[in-house]
Every structure is written in C-alpha cells, then in structure tokens.
Chains A and B, each alone.
Chain A
Amino acid sequence: MFDDLRDLYQEVIFDHNRNPRNFRVMENANRRVDGFNPLCGDKLTLFLKIDDHVITDASFQGSGCAISTASVSLMTEIIKGKTEQEADTLFQQFHEMTTGKTEEVNLEAIGKLAVLAGVREYPARVKCATLAWHTLDAALKNQQEAISTE
C-alpha cells in the first residue's frame, strides 16, 4: 500500500525506530546538548564522551518521528570511535546528501547512513533527519545552548 514510500521508510529505519541503539542517559558524558524541532515537536538530548579528540561513547534520549529516531540512533552507532574531525566530515557529507546538494551519494564514506538519502524527496521531512547531526555539530563545537531547527 505504501509503495511510493519505500525509499523513505526503509526497513532499517523501522528497525531503528522500534529498537533505538544507544538509547540511554550517559552519566559520565563530557558533552551534552539538547536538540529541538519546533515544527513537529521532536526533542532529543545527545550525550558524548570525548577523550583526546576521539568520540569514545555516544548515546541519546528523547522522542521523535521514525526518521529522526532512526537518524540519531544510526548516528550514535557510526560516530563511536571516530575522531572529532572525522565526525565533522560525516556531518558535512550527511548534510549534503539529505539536502540534495550532491547528486551522487558517496556510499563508501556515508555507509549505512545512505538509508536516509530518501528524505531529500520530502522537503518537509529533511529537518527530521538532520536534527541529530546539527545537535552533534553543536556538541563538537562545545556549544551549551539547545539547538533548534528553526
């Protein structure tokens, strides 16, 4: 029935929505930023532990739509073990992929995150996918204030 949506709602997204990874409060986090999408009410808190410029742990709390939940869940998986610099590069690549700035998705660089490429066909939903990453960007810059997509 929802054939048209297969590119947007891939099975991986349903899976991460049902069972979000790294969904916990991190007591020993040294970065913590709130992200908020006022349009749909998505709220998340991102926790990072960064030791010597390497993200050694990442987790989140919050509630949102399937796209935003899957996006933050996938992000916490993929950034673990990356340097701050590498994570920032991923942020740029993800941003370009979801806003359609690059036609070709560099699959190798972006890996699993490619399942979210479908949002570029749904302008109303792009912010759902990018909220997690804007929050990460703020955390990497060590900003304290909450992030809003507006």
Chain B
Amino acid sequence: MTTYPIDQIRADFPILGETVRNKPLVYLDNAASCQKPQAVIDSIVHVYSHEYANIHRGVHTLSVKATDRFEAAREKVKRFINAGSEKEIIFLRGATEAINLVAQSFGKSQLQAGDEIVISAMEHHANIVPWQMLCQQIGTVLKVAPMNQKGELIFEEFEKLLGDKTKLVAIAHMSNALGTINPVEKIIAAAHAKNIPVLLDGAQATPHMAVDVQALDCDFYVFSGHKLYGPSGTGVLYGKQALLEAMPPYQGGGDMIRTVTFEKTTYAGLPHKFEAGTPAIAEIIGLGAAIDYVSAIGMENIAAYEAELLAYATEQAEQIKGMNIVGQAAEKGGILSFTLDHIHPHDIGTMLDSLGIAIRAGHHCAMPVMDFYGVPATARASFAMYNTREEVDILMQGIKSLIEVFG
C-alpha cells in the first residue's frame, strides 16, 4: 500500500477545520454519522445550481439531466457493493427504512404465524423493532442468538436456532455499540444450508470495509448514506432480484406505477416498484459522489488504516486504570465503546466536549446490549477514514484528566 494520504483527506473535509468550544474539533462520533468531503457538498450545490428538476417525469432537459445523474448514482452503488444488476438497488431514506420495507413487504407476503425470524443480541433497534412490529401484526416469532462477554456471536447457539420454522435471519454485519464484525460468511452458509434467506444490516460495515454482496451471497443488504460520508436522508436496500420481484410494493404513489385507473393499477418494474414518490434527488446524487470519493482512496486502504488506528487506541485505553473497554471481539471495526469506573458516560461526554472532542454517550440505540453488560450507557469513540493517532492521544489525555478531576 502506498502511504495513506491522511493530510489530503483531512483537507477534503471542511468541517474538520472547525473549532468547538475554542478547541480544534476532534470528531469521534462517526458511528452516529460521518462528516462530508467537499466533493459531496459540491455535488449537491452543483445539482441545485445547474441540474435540478424532478426525475423520471419530464421530457425537458433538466429533468433528463437530473434523471441521468440519479440513475448514475444507482450504477455507482451497484458497483460499490458489486450487485448483479441496478434493478437490485432500491433508494430509500436509510437503513431503518430499508429494514422496515423488508419486514412489511417480504415479511407480510412470505411469512406466516409461527414462522421464526432470527436476529442477534447485538442488534441496533432498527433491526429489532421492525421485526417485533411484524410479529405483532402476523404472529411470527422473534428469536435472539446470544453473544459472549467479549461481544461475539455464539455461533453454535445461533446455528441451533435455525430450524424448520426459521424463515429469515437478520443480523448486523458490524455492531454499532460494540464494533464486533460478525462472521457473515459462516452465518450465510449455515442459513442457506437450510434455505433460509439472510438480511445483513450493513449500516456500520459499509464505511469501514469492502462489501461484495455477490461473493457474500446475502439475500438483502441495507445501509445508510450518511454514515458513508454521504448526505442524510439516503439509504440503500439491496435485494436479490427474484426476491424483490416476488414482493409487493411497500408504499403506493407516483413513480412506482405502470398504469393507474380507478379500477386497477399495475406496478412499475424494479427498482421503481419500491420507490414511490419523489426521492431525495440531490442527496442521492451526493451519495454517488461519496462513493466516488471513498472508492478513489480504496475501501481496503481505509480498512487497513482504521484497523491500525483502532489497535493503537485499544492499546492506549488498556493502559488507563479505571477504563473498561466494552466489546472486545477478535474481529472488530473502528469502535471503542468504554466505561470509566464511577464516572457516568454523560459526564464523560460533556467533559470531553469542553475539550473539543465529540463522542457519543448513551445506549447507542442498542438498549439490550446495555442490559447485557449491566450498564445504563457507555461512552463511544468511533473512528473514520480521517481520524489520526494525534486525535487518539488527545482523547486519551482528556480521559486521564477527567478521571483526575472526578477523584
């Protein structure tokens, strides 16, 4: 690998030059949302300045231009996750909406009362609640595969849950609360051996590693644009074409129809069948720009750089007395969740904020994970492609100082 262009990357993100409470910003809340490079910001300004109109609707020049740019973003997403066809790429608001779509459309049409859905103990609420809602609506049953103290899925227990009644596995590719990267190849192989389709929640994985949905052979893959250096309000559902074809629309409206009369409506083909109404046009074009940006640097390079950063941060954290890392899986992405003896995460968050350091303090939309570890909340530093060792040092120095003042 040629040297990682960290200085150039930092210069590409204007917000990294901001000061917060008169200190240079140290942004370590990337698992919640990432900052945006100038290229993404520029692409949105460009669309609105030169190429904006509604898409798929007009014969006029601007509408054609906007449609071309929007569909070009679909092509970029397709290449980014190596999907087989752009028909398999559905643009939505985020990972949350994508999971809800699968629960309501796939779930209601393909599952019956008594059928089982398997998730894991480390899911984000977005991969718990839509299934619970489905269970209440049609009587399916939610099964939860346990994890061990390190925050790793207990694979044997997971396998035991796969039975004749299991009709879907829905699992995080990478956990937002712990950083754990799940053994998705093994999970998919075990599920497919029993003809069970698998949905991967890639909200955390996509910014940190190369994803190839065909190599994985997953049936659904979901992620959010805003965690991938793209605009908020964008998300992607990938689904295998045959599965998507068999699913009814999720919402009705414009763009998703072929013909409408008051007696009968026929639906558009993929992907438009699932894209009712005007989408986040400029934002999705911006997501395309974000994908261009990370692709130019290379997901493998980003993954390698972040792995080194996490290893460094972990090593530093282990030397601080009273600091406890929550989530110590062997396979982990750039997330350092932690607690400090006798200091509440909210106090940690406020104190670090006064030093210009942004971390998350709370339950990270994973209350069952907090219950598992018997803590009300954790503090979480999460790394992105633009963070540095110097920033890790500033974080650790801040933590040492606040332990001191709390006494």
| Interface residues of A, Cβ cutoff 8 Å to B | 1-2, 4-5, 8-9, 14, 17-18, 39-43, 63-67, 69, 122, 124-125, 128
Contacts and interface: CB of A to CB of B under 8 A. Distances in A.
Interface residues of B, number: 24
B407 A40 contact: no
A99 to B, nearest CB: 18
Interface string B328-359: 00000000000000011111001100110000
A66 B347 contact: yes
Contact of B350 (A5, A43, A69): A5
Nearest to A43: B376
Interface of B: 21-22, 343-347, 350-351, 354-355, 361-363, 370, 375-377, 398, 401-402, 405-407
Nearest to B344: A65
5 contacts: A1-B405, A9-B347, A40-B344, A66-B406, A69-B344
B407 A66 contact: no
A41 B21 contact: no
Nearest to B376: A41
A66 B344 contact: yes
A50 B5 CA distance: 67
B339 to A, nearest CB: 12
Contacts, number: 63
A145 to B, nearest CB: 20
A69 B343 CA distance: 11
B405 to A, nearest CB: 6
B354 A2 contact: yes
B376 A1 contact: no
B370 to A, nearest CB: 7
B376 A5 contact: no
Given A4-B354, A66-B343, A67-B347, 7 more contacts: A9-B347, A9-B351, A17-B406, A40-B361, A40-B362, A40-B376, A42-B344
B322 to A, nearest CB: 14
B346 A2 contact: no
Contacts of B354: 2, 4-5
Contact of A125 (B22, B350, B401): B350
A40 B377 contact: yes
Nearest to B349: A124
A131 B73 CA distance: 47
A131 to B, nearest CB: 12
